[in-house]
Amino acid sequence: MHRVGLSDRARRGDGALRRHVDDAAGAGGRAGWIVFVIGDAHDEDEARTLIRRHASSGGAEHARKASDEQWRAMTTRVSVSTPEPALDLLMNGWLLYQTLGCRIWGRSSFYQSSGAFGFRDQLQDVLALIPADPAIARAYILKAASRQYRRGRRAALVARTAPGEGVRTRCSDDRLWLRTPVLEYVRSDG
């Protein structure tokens, strides 16, 4: 990474970004924000719209505050109080944040670094989201159900397969793991 620049070519699936930034402290001693806009869009027009919206410091700050509020709203829907402050810290926000951000959306939690979308693991995680955000839980339950076959087998990697496709497993407990969050969702949300 000693080079000043990269090739200035980007292709779908590329994963390297680099930007040279001079130390701003010499410019009047003021420290400032550096905003990187990294996103995803369906086409170039949508990408340009998103860049215009978020590339300024005001746009970036607005997006950060909106994101903070969205996470705060979700992670404070369930609250517990125990004699152990460390457990309260985990239960009141952190675990829901990790479940949704790392397990469901990012597929990047510590035991899922391959990016896989395991059928049973994800359905267990969805149970935690039912009281916090029933719509997200429902969407995942329906996605998992679309990967279940008539005799109870299912596709191994839910996110990477279309309905009717994928490696069929012979795990004997697949039927149970879809049933559990469905019943809990219906009991909780009607």
Who has greater pLDDT, 155 or 58?
58
DSSP result, 114-183: T---BHHHHHHHHHHHTTT-HHHHHHHHHHHHTTB-TTS-BBSBGGGS-TT-SPBP--TTHHHHHHHHHH
Q: What is the mean pLDDT of residues 29-41?
A: 70
Q: What is the mean pLDDT of residues 88-102?
A: 88
* Contacts of range 141-146, beta carbons closer than 8 Å, 24 or more positions apart: 141/178, 141/181, 141/182, 141/185, 144/119, 144/178, 145/178, 145/182
Query: pLDDT: is 20 or 58 the higher one?
Result: 58
pTM score of the predicted model: 0.66
Q: pLDDT tens digits for 129-157?
A: 999 889 999 998 898 888 777 766 666 55
104: pLDDT strictly greater than 60: yes
Q: Which pLDDT does position 69 carry in this prediction?
A: 94
Q: Is the pLDDT of residue 1 over 50?
A: no
